[in-house]
Amino acid sequence: MTPFSSLAGNSRRHFLQLAGTTVLPPVLSAASEPTNRNTRDSGPVGRAENCILLWLGGGACHVDTWDPKRKGDGKKIAGSYYDPIPTAVPGVQVCEHLKRSARLLDRCVLLRGVHHEVIDEHAAATNRMHTGRPPSGTTIYPSIGSIMAHERGAVGDGVPPYVVMGYPSASRGPGFLGAGAGYLYLTDTKAGPAGLQRPAGVGRQRQARREKLLGRIRGRFLDKNSADTRVRDYSAAAAQGLKLAGPKFMSVFDLESEGDALRQVYGSEFGQRCLLARRLVESGVRFVEVSFNLNFINGTGWDTHNEGQQQQHRMIDQLDQAFAALITDLEKRKRLDRTLIVIATEFGRPPEFDARGGRGHYSKAFSVVLAGGGLKTGQAVGTTDELGKTILDHPVSIPDLHATICQAMRVNPAKELYDGIRPVPITDNGRAISRVFG
């Protein structure tokens, strides 16, 4: 697989054709504040203005990363694959390949009791983690990123509220909120979204004439079909796409403008995406998802069945380097308290090994990491048993995780949105984890 493929074809026309799924929501002003329309007390309010989600697609093993247990043998004796090391939080250990993150763990909260019941299907588990709910036959639920786009919008003009660095999927989409709460996706951190660039030979004046003609045609259609909200949403998305083609937003993708030393600190291509995520939130993007698994450097990614387990440490090391660099970089720029970092995956993996030394799927207990965001960091919430299979205290459901992210981002998790006339709470009765708020 090519490390970075082009986005949505090579022309603006193709990009605009895909605007309904690649999205470009209307942008809110920096003065915009989230509104609460529910009657339930939403609890403590967080301080985060932006969120960066680091997505470890495939099912990262919690006992090999953030919740180490006794060491197994990779064959018949169940347990962790690596040795544990101490961290900046007394009494809390992590895997030996997370040595950089271990020194910065006082900026983090480890949620070790996350759980759900979806284990057999990656797509279903990914959907659960992104939407916070089981699927419904009547409602297509929005992702957590789309909720942030809808409720908070972008911080400023000329940038999208929500960017996905990875491949598009319905799980990451806006659901019933419509195209205005969708995402801009890209897989090229060097050139930016190819679909936002004018084709060769199309100058500004020619483009302006095209936009004027398109505006007249669009206006006539909307006048005759004013009740068609989907077309109106797509029209707004297309118009926003033209704004994003300007030099202000496109300059964000110029990683060469960063010093060589800093780019080296971030490391691998995943690290470079994390560096771009920092630049995106600085530019005003509200929510950025960074997928690790564009390239499987160990053959299987985080889905470590069979031989994938043997090279898992290479991925953990790259995660460690990028995560530690992101924390340190944001802290130096005095943005860590305003930026919530989330490391999540669709489920964990059991302590037992399969016949070829890998691991299966496990969702009854796994780990999610929160960092920065003005949270009460330097703690591990939840304890699992000696093998990491049973949650002993402080379980965290997926609705609770979503409620915590919402609360940190100053979005009321109990607020009701509307699918047509049907009220739908932002979370599925989720309750924010009160002990992570100071």
CA distance 27 to 150: 9
CA distance 269 to 306: 25
Report the CATH number at residue 314. Answer: 3.40.720.10
CA distance 90 to 380: 10
Mean pLDDT computed over every residue of the chain? 86
- pLDDT category, 205, cuts 50, 70, 90? confident
In a domain, 5, yes or no: no
Q: What domain range is 220 assigned to?
A: 12-436
The answer to whether 401 touches 368, Cβ cutoff 8 Å, is: yes
Average pLDDT on 245-251 reads 75
The answer on pLDDT for 411 being more than 50 is yes
Any idea which of 192-196, 247-251, 256-260 has the lowest mean pLDDT?
Answer: 192-196
Give percent of the chain above pLDDT 70.
80
- pLDDT category, 156, cuts 50, 70, 90? confident
Specify the residue for token string 């909260």. Answer: 109
- pLDDT category, 23, cuts 50, 70, 90? very low
Average pLDDT on 252-278 reads 95
Residue 175 confidence (pLDDT): 97
CA-to-CA dists, residue 325 to 100, 189, 207, 261, angstroms: 9, 17, 40, 11
In a domain, 107, yes or no: yes
In a domain, 3, yes or no: no
In a domain, 286, yes or no: yes
Model pTM?
0.85
In a domain, 1, yes or no: no
CA-to-CA dists, residue 360 to 58, 121, 287, 347, angstroms: 11, 12, 31, 10
- Of residues 421 and 38, more confidence is placed in 421
In a domain, 7, yes or no: no
Average pLDDT on 104-114 reads 98
SS3 track for 290-314: EECCCCCCCCCCCCCCHHHHHHHHH
**What domain count does the chain have?**
1
In a domain, 103, yes or no: yes
The answer to whether 255 touches 272, Cβ cutoff 8 Å, is: yes
Any idea which of 11-15, 95-99, 238-242 has the lowest mean pLDDT?
Answer: 11-15
The answer on pLDDT for 26 being more than 80 is no
- Of residues 229 and 408, more confidence is placed in 408
